[in-house]
Structure formats: C-alpha cells, structure tokens
Amino acid sequence: GAVVSQHPSRVICKSGTSVKIECRSLDFQATTMFWYRQFPKKSLMLMATSNEGSKATYEQGVEKDKFLINHASLTLSTLTVTSAHPEDSSFYICSVGTGAYNEQFFGPGTRLTVL
Amino acid sequence: LAKTTQPISMDSYEGQEVNITCSHNNIATNDYITWYQQFPSQGPRFIIQGYKTKVTNEVASLFIPADRKSSTLSLPRVSLSDTAVYYCLVGDLDTGRRALTFGSGTRLQVQP
C-alpha cells in the first residue's frame, strides 16, 4: 500500500499565526488526497479533498480562506491554517486513496495546539 | 454512503477473542465493508475488507451474513496492543477515490 508521511508531527503556535502542514505520498502518485480533522475522543471529519493541479473541494462549514490547501505535485499536499485560533487546535490527518475499492492510506497525523 | 452503527465501547482481557459487530442496513449492492484501526494520536490503519461470507488475514477475520446488513470483525486472542478504536465503513468500488465517512467507531479496551 501507499506510505504517507506528515510534517510536522506536532506544532504549537500563538493565536493569529499561520501554520503549514505537509502531507507526502512517498511511494504512490496521488492525484487526490484528503484532509481530515479529529477532535479528542471524536471521529474523523472530512475537511476537504485536495486535487493535484486544481482547486480543493471543501466540505460544508469548512472555510476555504482559513484552511488553504495546495496540491502542487502528485506527492505533496499542504494544509495551511491561517490566523489560527485556539478552537483550531485539533489532530489533522491526511490520506491517499489508491483507487483500490475503499482502501485508503492515512498519514500519522499532525497535532496542532494554538495558544 | 451507507450509515453504520457500532457499539461505542467494548472491554476485553488479554488472550480472549473479541467480536465487534457493525450494522449497515442500507448497504448497497456494490458496497464493500472495510474496517480500520486507530491508535491514539495516529492515523487510521486498514485492517480488513470484504464483500460477503468470510474473509481472513493475518490480523483479523471478517464475517458477513448473506443479507450483508451487518458484519462482524473478529480479533483472535487480543493483546494489550489491540487497545484502539475500530471503525466500520461501507462504500462502493470507487470509494478509494473519494473520502471516507467515519462513524463513531468502537473503542476497545484490553485489560491484562
């Protein structure tokens, strides 16, 4: 299966700053990647679908100007949390769908803490 | 995508077999059933997938009755390291290209 990495694994930032999270597909060229957010003891919630070379598709209620997604290559998608606030503190996870039925491969996640 | 219902939590002891059942009454003809495992502060990990009858791999078994309205993930002889949240998902063949919809999952706690 696909190997997916994320960087950083955890980040702490001050309120009002921007944070960039990278998601890399190490051994699979991914035209599509997905970004999820997970609050403590809750399930994963899809934020957006990242499409290589085109605009991301955001889920209802997710502000596209706040969560900027760039998928410039087949192996890299980035999520930038702009003007972060404490309520943006969460666990952010990306995934790669290889097209094999409904099997996806997830990154290890990034823990964001906004002070 | 079909909605799934799982128990919120389960407790077990080391060495026991654990069976987690998932209900998916509205499963469609083309839907497959997939189970993921998630440890704290990690991304979900694919465990097993099936369409009907029984599927077994080195980690688990998946039992699917003829009507496919439910499925049971069976973990043989669990250990402490099997403590995790287990998610049941259903989706069609092309779902790999689309985002997955996660339900609440089942939190399994394995005691020594």
Q: How confident is the model at residue A31 (pLDDT cuts 50, 70, 90)?
A: confident
| The 3-state secondary structure of B57-71, one letter per residue | CCCCEEEECCCCCEE
Per DSSP, which regions of chain A are E strands?
Answer: 4-7, 10-13, 19-25, 32-38, 45-51, 57-58, 67-73, 76-81, 90-97, 104-106, 110-114
Q: Which residue has the higher pLDDT, B32 or A103?
A: B32
- Which chain A residues are within 8 Å of B24, Cβ to Cβ? none
User: Which residues in A lie closer than 8 A to residue B94 (C-beta atoms)?
Assistant: 99
The whole-number pLDDT of residue A108 equals 96
Span B54-79, average pLDDT: 96
Mean pLDDT of B73-91: 94
Q: Tens of pLDDT along B47-66?
A: 999 999 899 999 999 999 99
For tokens 């009858």, the residue is B53
Given a cut of 70, is residue A100 above it in pLDDT? no
Are B104 and A101 an interchain contact pair (Cβ–Cβ within 8 Å)? no
| A&B contacts, CB < 8 Å | 74
Average pLDDT, chain B: 91
CB contact under 8 A, A101 and B32: yes
pLDDT tens sequence across A33-76: 999 999 998 999 999 988 888 889 999 999 999 999 998 888 99
Contact B105 A43 (CB under 8 A): yes
Q: What is the mean pLDDT of residues A82-91?
A: 96
